[in-house]
Structure 1
Amino acid sequence: MVGVRDLALPLRDPADLDPLLDRVGDARVVAVGEASHGTAEYYAWRAALTRRLVTERGFGLVAVEGDWPDCYRVNRSVKLREGADADPRDALDAFARWPTWLWANDEVVAFCRWLREVNAGRPPDERVGFYGLDVYSLWDSVHELVGWLREHEPEHVDTAIRALRCFEPFGEDGAEYAFASRFAPTSCEQAVVDLLQRLCEGRGRVEAATDPEARFSAEQNAAVVVDAERYYRAMVRGSAESWNVRDVHMVDTLDRLLDTADHKAVVWEHNTHIGDARATDMADAGMVNVGQLLRERHGADDVVLVGFGGYRGGVVAGSAWGEQVQRMSVPEARPGSLEALLHQEIGRDALLVWERGGVRPAELDRRLDHRAIGVVYRPDRERWGNYVPTVLGERYDAFLYLEDTSPLRPLHLERADEHVPPLAHAV
């Protein structure tokens, strides 16, 4: 009988990813996770895989768990757009929403500099983009949209201003708006829906000289405003609804990006978003996620989900929501967990790849606790927290296991004026 030890392949350098590229085949979407938001090796291996997908398999965009306006600035830099940052590091260092270290870190800088170099040798319409999928940037997206409309489509500015004024009494505070909409008879919902409708009505009348990607960005900022308003209203109800609003928005955004051109996409998010929710206890709570939605919308054959896990090491995170980022030790995985099993059976860095529905080790069909570290981490809670019950073989299509890990290196410490979004889900 085949065991997980027999499935384990070497994982030493990017050439060892060949079996994973074979597993990707002609898939249009490869979603690559991370077991924490603050571990250097997860970011480095994810970047190594993405480099090979871009150069060898023709993938044309990278979409990440970040805000659209911030990531669009990075996108302009890596695509060498006129007036953009000459060094992607400057665009990444400008990230100002806590937790900034998710993208403002050395590993992402190295990848984005590499991507800019690759794009420099390509025609503008073949350059690989870098986009944000998340929903948190309500106010930033409104301000970006108003500025774009003033310059390009002034007939829609009044509608955008009405939406902006609706939110002004809440001081750009999502929590304050959420609680106010919970107890007040009205909300800003209609204002933002009108804004999106007006903008989309004008899509077919755009002059040929208009920058199509810039207008797409304007439409996306409007879509963020619509879904962020829904997200903040759902947040106060204390259910899975806000999580679902967020993950549906991220997949909707990815689908809009895919529809703009015949691209293939790499998605970078936490395991909790990437791994199919139906293979975890998230489904019991009524939660869906990006991995599940991708398989449902595009079919399992056109989507490859790649997870990560580590046995011990280090991480950067906050001890509470909005707290200063710090380096922390990650203890050995608790007994009985997936990571403890892989440590016992393999004991080295390894790549595991399998076919859906094929013969595979029994361990892949067992429900085991799988460590998940978000932007908030308390090592002292390892005994009862930080783990998601998971059927590995159903949650992912491949898995990268690392024995020892090290903390990510942020570009900067959190700034005093940094925006901290309201807490709903800490992953």
Structure 2
Amino acid sequence: MATDIKETIHPVDASALLRLLPSRPPASSRPPRPRVLALGEPTHTEDTLLHLRNELFRHLVEDEGYRIVAIESDCLKALVVDDYVATGRGSLDAVMADGFSHPDLGLGASAANRELVRWMRRHNEGRPASERVRFAGVDGPLEMAAAASPRAALVPLYASLAAHVDADLLPCDAGTLDQLLGADERWTDPAAMFEPGRSVGRSDDAARLRLLADELVALLDTQEPLLRAAVEPDAWHRARLYARTAVGLLRYHWAMADPSPSRMARLCALRDAMMADNLLALADRAPVLVHAHNAHLQRELSSMGMWDGPVEWWSAGALASVRLGPEYAFVATALGTLPHRGVDAPPPDTLEGLLYALPDDRCLVDARRLAGLIGDRLPAPRVSPWFGYAPFDPAHLAGSDGIVFLKDVPPHPSSP
């Protein structure tokens, strides 16, 4: 088995990664690229994985024409980062403090994320708009225990329309919208994640806002020729982002108020549907590298244990893959050890154990070829002693385009 595995191993670089993809003719010196290249990670907060992402993105930009990097962070907060890398607006310190969500994961404090933003700004200096790289968050304005108020999306969507369309076409005035939204705190109550009755998502105000959001999106669609002629492309893309996010957040809050047993599965599915919509919109603009958890990018059904039992849902990757076909590529990341998290050397009969026995500190695995060599003799699933690390499921080999394997992941300075 070890000899067979060696035949599937490649260096970890952008060109080798792209040549693993089934749409790439082996004889071509510059084969076509997927519109979405998804690089998954099995755990968060590890800068080693983020530095690898940065390295691959730089090569994809310089050698393959990729123009967007998207990460698992709030799509609205990420606009602050995008403004900075595109125009230099703001300061790096302020951008890192204000442009990332999930503070529990330390995204804004990450040295690797700071390195990425700094490199993107340097790359863009003096370049025309068509050659600039852009930054995006693919996630909705959602945290593990809360969802944002729809105000941050509905108000700018309304303003984008009110500035250009006849006032008689607007479904309400700005004051009515503000009154229905009310205080943001009633939307962001963290207790609502665990107690559906605490959610405002099925109140009369929320129901009216869902209807108004639908009317605003319909107006945006029907006035596209006018708006496209009136605003810069970036302003149009942001209006579309506000529209997607407003509708997605109101759906999410509605589901938070659902007392049924399917509540958490519905919430997970809605979150990934928002991620997929953001990803597809980015792919319409330019080739994009997206980096998020493997569970959000894989083609197979995702699952997770929650406080009220296991849930299953279709990931953003699965949704994007059925829409994009071969224009979507997924490369998972698998790890050998995370010693600072209590994850020691993998058992030899697991996939990670087979790869750990190789001499390479890191390698790129041709997942489909390896699946063909293994056949029905799948390695044993690995069990992680730490909840924050999800080992690669060997049953997903055939559905992955590649696997980046890192033998040992050392702690970074901010690790406990």
Contact 1:307 1:399 in 2 (8 A): yes
Q: CA deviation at 1:354?
A: 2.1
Aligned partner of residue 69 in structure 1, secondary structure: coil
Q: State the AA in 2 paired with 1:311.
A: G
How far, CA to CA, are the matches of 2:270 and 2:283 in structure 1?
A: 20
How far, CA to CA, are the matches of 2:81 and 2:331 in structure 1?
A: 24
Aligned to 2:289: 266
Aligned to 1:338: 351
Q: State the AA in 2 paired with 1:50.
A: F
Could you tell me which of 179, 186, 203 is aligned with 1:165? Answer: 179
Aligned to 1:213: 234
Q: CA deviation at 1:62?
A: 1.6
Q: State the AA in 2 paired with 1:107.
A: A
Contact 1:364 1:391 in 2 (8 A): no
Aligned partner of residue 294 in structure 1, secondary structure: helix
Q: CA deviation at 1:331?
A: 2.0
Q: CA deviation at 1:38?
A: 0.7
Q: State the AA in 1 paired with 2:314.
A: V
Q: Deviations over 1:290-326 (max 9, x none)?
A: 2222321111x32221111222236xxxxxxxxxxxx
**Percent identical residues:** 23
Residues 1:294 and 1:103: Cα distance change in structure 2 (over 3 Å):
farther
Q: Deviations over 1:304-359 (max 9, x none)?
A: 21111222236xxxxxxxxxxxxx5342155354323322x325423233274787
Structure 1 vs Structure 2 CA RMSD: 3.6
Q: State the AA in 2 paired with 1:401.
A: F
Q: State the AA in 2 paired with 1:200.
A: D
Q: Name which of structure 1's ranges 23-32 and 332-341 shifts more when overlaid on structure 2.
A: 332-341
Residues 1:268 and 1:72: Cα distance change in structure 2 (over 3 Å):
same
Contact 1:348 1:403 in 2 (8 A): yes
Residues 1:98 and 1:18: Cα distance change in structure 2 (over 3 Å):
closer
Aligned partner of residue 73 in structure 2, secondary structure: coil
Residues 1:167 and 1:107: Cα distance change in structure 2 (over 3 Å):
same
Aligned to 1:275: 298
Aligned to 1:417: none
How far, CA to CA, are the matches of 1:223 and 1:409 in structure 2?
A: 38
Q: State the AA in 2 paired with 1:58.
A: G
TM-score, normalisation: structure 2: 0.77
Contact 1:92 1:103 in 2 (8 A): yes
Residues 1:286 and 1:94: Cα distance change in structure 2 (over 3 Å):
closer
Unaligned runs of 5+ in 1: 315-327, 373-377, 414-427
Contact 1:352 1:400 in 2 (8 A): yes
Q: Please say if 1:297 is aligned against 2:323.
A: yes
Residues 1:123 and 1:234: Cα distance change in structure 2 (over 3 Å):
same
Residues 1:115 and 1:139: Cα distance change in structure 2 (over 3 Å):
same
Q: State the AA in 2 paired with 1:41.
A: T
Q: State the AA in 2 paired with 1:331.
A: V
Aligned to 2:250: 229
Could you tell me which of 277, 286, 290 is aligned with 1:252? Answer: 277
Contact 1:67 1:132 in 2 (8 A): yes
Residues 1:150 and 1:191: Cα distance change in structure 2 (over 3 Å):
closer
Q: CA deviation at 1:252?
A: 1.5
Q: State the AA in 1 paired with 2:17.
A: L
Residues 1:404 and 1:149: Cα distance change in structure 2 (over 3 Å):
same
Aligned to 1:58: 65
Aligned partner of residue 16 in structure 2, secondary structure: helix
Q: Please say if 1:19 is aligned against 2:16.
A: yes
Aligned partner of residue 46 in structure 1, secondary structure: helix
Output aligned runs, 1:255-404, within 5 Å: 255-259=280-284, 261=285, 263-278=286-301, 286-299=312-325, 301-313=326-338, 329-332=341-344, 335=347, 336-343=349-356, 345-346=357-358, 348-354=360-366, 356=368, 360-362=372-374, 366=378, 368-369=380-381, 379=386, 386-387=390-391, 389-404=393-408
Q: State the AA in 2 paired with 1:141.
A: A
Aligned to 2:154: 142
Q: Deviations over 1:240-286 (max 9, x none)?
A: 22212121221212222333x4x2111111111122224x667x955
Aligned to 1:189: 210
How far, CA to CA, are the matches of 1:371 and 1:91 in structure 2?
A: 38
Contact 1:59 1:264 in 2 (8 A): yes
Q: CA deviation at 1:386?
A: 4.5
Aligned to 1:420: none
Q: State the AA in 2 paired with 1:85.
A: G
Aligned partner of residue 269 in structure 2, secondary structure: helix
Residues 1:122 and 1:96: Cα distance change in structure 2 (over 3 Å):
closer
Q: CA deviation at 1:213?
A: 0.9
Contact 2:70 2:291 in 1 (8 A): yes
Residues 1:242 and 1:330: Cα distance change in structure 2 (over 3 Å):
same
How far, CA to CA, are the matches of 1:365 and 1:47 in structure 2?
A: 35
TM-score, normalisation: structure 1: 0.76
How far, CA to CA, are the matches of 1:371 and 1:129 in structure 2?
A: 38
Q: Deviations over 1:126-146 (max 9, x none)?
A: 322111221225343335445
Could you tell me which of 127, 133, 136 is aligned with 2:138? Answer: 133
Contact 2:80 2:98 in 1 (8 A): no
Aligned to 1:204: 225
Could you tell me which of 62, 80, 83 is aligned with 1:73? Answer: 80
Q: State the AA in 1 paired with 2:316.
A: V
Q: Please say if 1:4 is aligned against 2:1.
A: no
